[in-house]
Structures are given as C-alpha cells and as structure tokens.
Amino acid sequence: MTKYIFCTGGVVSSVGKGVAAAALGRVLKARGLRVTMQKLDPYINVDPGTMNPFQHGEVFVTEDGAETDLDLGHYERFIDENLTRASNVTTGQIYAEVIAKERRGDYLGGTVQVIPHITNEIKRRIGLVAKAHQNPDVVIVEVGGTVGDIEGLPFLEAIRQMRRDVGRDNVLYIHVTWLPYIGATGELKTKPTQHSVNTLRSVGIQPDAIIARADHPVPDSLREKIALFCDVDLRAVIPLPTAKILYEVPLMLEEAGLGDFVVERLGLPAREPDWTEWSRMVSEMRRPKEKLPIALVGKYVDLHDAYISVREALIHAGVAHGVDVQIEWIAAEDLEHGRGWDRLQRVHGIVVPGGFGYRGVEGKILAARYARENRVPYLGLCLGMQVMVIELARYALGSDEPNSTEFNPHTRYPVIDLLPEQRDITDLGGTMRLGAYPCVLVPGTRAAQAYGADLVYERHRHRFEFNNAYRDLLQRAGLVLSGLSPDGRLVEIVELADHPFMLGTQFHPEFKSRPNRPHPLFKAFIAAAAARLD
C-alpha cells in the first residue's frame, strides 16, 4: 500500500521546505523505493500561470502541460521523475471543482461546506497523484505556506483526516521550522518552533519528525530541547543547517538519520541506501574549478527564483564540463539605458530566458546583437529565441521595424506572430502551447549533434511562433532551422551558421535538466563558452 509523508512549514515562509521535501524523496529513492511528490498550494489562483514572477518565482511546466509551482522543479531534479498536473493542487482548483459539482447538482441539494466537501476534494486530489504514478511506495506531499495561515487550514484538516482514512501506520508528518539566530547573545532560539508545533497540534496534527533549519550548526542540547517541548523522538529532530551546495541536502538528511527513521516508522521494504553516484556528483560540485562567467539577461533578475530552472541547468552543465558557472544577472532594461554593458562584455556566454510582455525586450535584442556581432556563445530560450530572430531580421532588412506582434501588432515585418487559428481566442491560456511536443532534428546541425538523436520531446510555454513567411529571408541571412515539428510547420530550434554557438529554442529545455544528467543543449552551450577560457 502507498504510504504518505506530509511536510508542513512553520515560523517563516521560504524556509526551504520544498528542497527538504525533495531531498527526502532522493533519500528514499537511494533505498530503491518508488517515490512521487505533490505540492498543495493554498493560494486562490487556479495556477501560477498568470502570476507575476516577482510574486511567485518561476512557473514550472510539466510534461502534460500544467503550469505549476517552482517546487515541482526541485522535486523533478532531486527524484529524477517526470511529474504530472496531479502533482500541483491549489485552492482555486479545489473550489472551482466543488462549485462545478454543486451547480450540476452532485450534492443533491445539500449545504456545501469546507468540511466535508472541500476537504474531501483535497483528499481526492492527494489520492489522484498516487494513481497517476502507478501507486508508488511513497507519496511526499508538501503543504505550501506556513502553519497558522488562514488559507491553509482546509489543507491541514484534509491531511489530518488522511491519517484516519489510510491508517496511522501509512502516514507520517514532518514539520520544517526555522531556528532564528540572535546575534546579541550568539544563540539559536527554539521558542518559535515550539509555538509553531503548538499551532499544528491545535488542528489535530502531531508531527512525527521536525526538520530544524538554521544558518548555524544546531547543537545537541537544542535538539533535546525541541524533542522535549514538541514531544518527538530525539532521533526525529533533524538539524539542517544552510547548505553551500543545494544537492548536499539529501546527504545531510541521510547523515542525520532521517532516512532510517522514515523507513522504520512506515515499515517500508527498503534496501541499504546507495549514494555512490550522488556523492560523486556532489564531490565534483565541491571541487574548486575555473570560473566561467555567463550573463543571464532577463526581465526579473532581481528575483533569482524567477529563473531557477535556468540557473540550475547552467550549474549542471558546468559540473559536467569541470567549470564553475558564475552567473551575471543583467537586467534587460539596463542595457536599453546604456547600463550593464561593462558586465556583459566580460562574460563568455549569454543566456536570454523566456518571458512575456514588452518591458525589457529591446534590451534582450541588444544582447542578441552583441552576441552575434562579437561571436559570443548565445543560448535563447523561448522569448530568447524570438529576440534572436527579430535581431537577425533587423540586420537582414537594415531596419528596426521587424518585431513580434506581441510587442507591435502593426509591425510591417511580423517575424514572430500568432498562428492563424490562434487569432480569435481571447482567453490568455487558450492560445498557449503547453507541455511536451515532438521536435525533429535536422542532421548535421549543432542541435542534432548536441542531442545525438533524430527526435526529441521538449516542454513548451509560449503563445507566439516563428512566422514561416520569413523563412527564406532569414535563411539567406544565415539562420539555420535545425529543429521542426514532425509536419515541418512549426520552427522549434534555430541556430546561426558561421558562429561558434548561437542557438535558440522555442521550448524550455531547462525544465528537463537534472544534476546528474545535464540537458544536451546546455552542455553544448557551456562547452562553447568554456572554449573561450583557453
């Protein structure tokens, strides 16, 4: 029978609960267990797809086209499994489903209430993730937000009920809290953790284990105090100091004994953990390496979480090539106003990631122009591919008029445009191409060489497409269409002939990169950038 581990958070948000949950997934996978994961998000939005990245960070896209919380990216990178739309549940989705049932008369005229109707729908969604992944040994469910948040109460009540529904021996609760450091006295404080656990108890949940996050080492005396006041086993108080390397966290949890505790507590049929490959990878990450400066020219660079999958994909590729990728976060708008050029001129590679809206686009076009003219390796992701096409069209036509109709609906040269069948759709989500689509690679191109395959599937999240009316013009200017949809109609990858590496993808390859298996295009890009170190 599938076992369930519920991870809640206390004291403050952004304490690293998602990484801790994902790392626990890796700890269990190291023991040969089948693991999948789910995030319960209490916000009322249906999904983060229309949310400003400054509000919620990156929108992560699953294979089946769901726009989800960025924590699903952590889950996939740590447990190395492709998740589905069942793995992200929001208050908006829950209420929309319950209201739709009420309108259909499914409740036979009964009064619709938080308990049992909302909580039953939450529990149904929790059950769905196990079915979607062929009933794994363990489902790890992270509850977003912090204990005590009013919007999170129905989720806490639902996971409390799960213990009764599936049996006490099949459920384990882990509470992730923060130990603040008081500089004046030089000590960590446990009182916020005690209050947080008391709040959790007040809704009927007694944590089985507590992960104590801190920026300093956690002494055994504090672990004993937490165990006493929060009524948990001493061995179940897991210290988790801030790690220098993200992928060290599973090893830290293993060393602290969380894996053995969980396996024993849930009676899981696990073997001895095998950390050979993961430890080798982390050791390589720790090893001092030559620094490789890479510019990330974006719209939301003040919040690095807005590009978290891009950052991680660059790091993965850097490790594969034995270099330490140092990201220069450059605001596209700064380039428009003449700022940041000294930093751009110092890097060995330029990445322009995806995005929506006109703000900063001209700065991204300038970055693409700089890369083309100075033969600097360039990787364009989604919008980054589109600005590469716009820039080349402007060069070919000797005009600043070429553009995307997203930014200038009346441009004379719409090199990026909506497909004809998209034009009459008004719902923002209705025109999106989301999830995995096939891409046929053209033999002899850099893309085909990087992948070493004829056909790949990559994840999309975009609305506008390469305008086929400009294929001939741009190909004469040196553009190579190196990846196409199987029917040849959609341009998926472009690259520039006679350039060390200038390649753009209509899709988001960063979503499929893994720490132990970097994405081929990121590997090829970092290889080209590292060649400039010689």
- State the Cα–Cα distance between residues 330 and 340, nearest whole angstrom: 7
Q: How far apart are alpha carbons 97 and 99 in whole angstroms?
A: 6
d(CA 242, CA 258): 17
- Helix 276-286 with 308-320: angle, nearest 10 deg: 90
Q: Which residues pair with 330 in a beta bridge?
A: 297
Query: Cis omega (within 30 of 0) on the bond before 116?
Result: yes
Q: Which residue in the list 382, 391, 458, 465 is annotated as catalytic?
A: 382
CA atoms within 13 Å, Cβ hemisphere of 523: 17
Give 326's strand partners: 293
| Tokens 């690293």 sit on residue | 16
Catalytic annotation, pick one of 117, 499, 508, 519: 508
Q: Which 3 state secondary structure label does DSSP give 326?
A: strand
Quote the DSSP letter at residue 453: S
Instruction: Judge whether 439 counts as a catalytic residue.
Output: no
Q: How many whole angstroms from its chain centre is CA 193?
A: 28
Q: From residue 37, give the alpha-carbon distance in Å to each of 138, 143, 152, 215, 238.
A: 8, 11, 19, 27, 21
Candidates 4, 2, 28; CA nearest to 258 is 28
Of 157, 495, 510, 519, which one is the catalytic site residue?
510
- Residue written as tokens 């390496």? 289
Rounded distance between C-alpha atoms, residue 509 and residue 522, angstroms: 8
Q: Is 373 one of the annotated active-site residues of the chain?
A: no
β-strand partners of 434:
461
Contact indicator for 309, 323 with CB cutoff of 8 Å = no
For the chain, give the number of residues: 534
Please name which of 238, 27, 62, 25 lies closest in space to residue 138, comparing C-alpha atoms: 25
Question: In the annotation, is 382 catalytic?
Answer: yes
- The residue with tokens 């589109």 is 386
Q: Helices 308-320 and 71-79 sit at what angle, rounded to 10 degrees?
A: 30
Please, what's the largest Cα pairwise distance for the chain?
Answer: 74
What residues does 379 pair with on adjacent strands?
Answer: 351, 503
d(CA 262, CA 265): 5
Reference 374, options 502, 479, 526, 527; nearest CA is: 502
Kindly provide the b/e burial profile for residues 446-478, where b requires at least 16 CB atoms within 10 angstroms of the residue's own CB.
bbbebbeeeebebbbbbbbbbbeebeebbeeeb
Token couple for 458: 């990559």
Contact 330, 297 (CB under 8 A): yes
Distance CA 220, CA 229 (A): 14
CA–CA–CA angle 492, 494, 495 (5° rounding): 155
Task: Enumerate the active-site residues.
Answer: 382, 508, 510
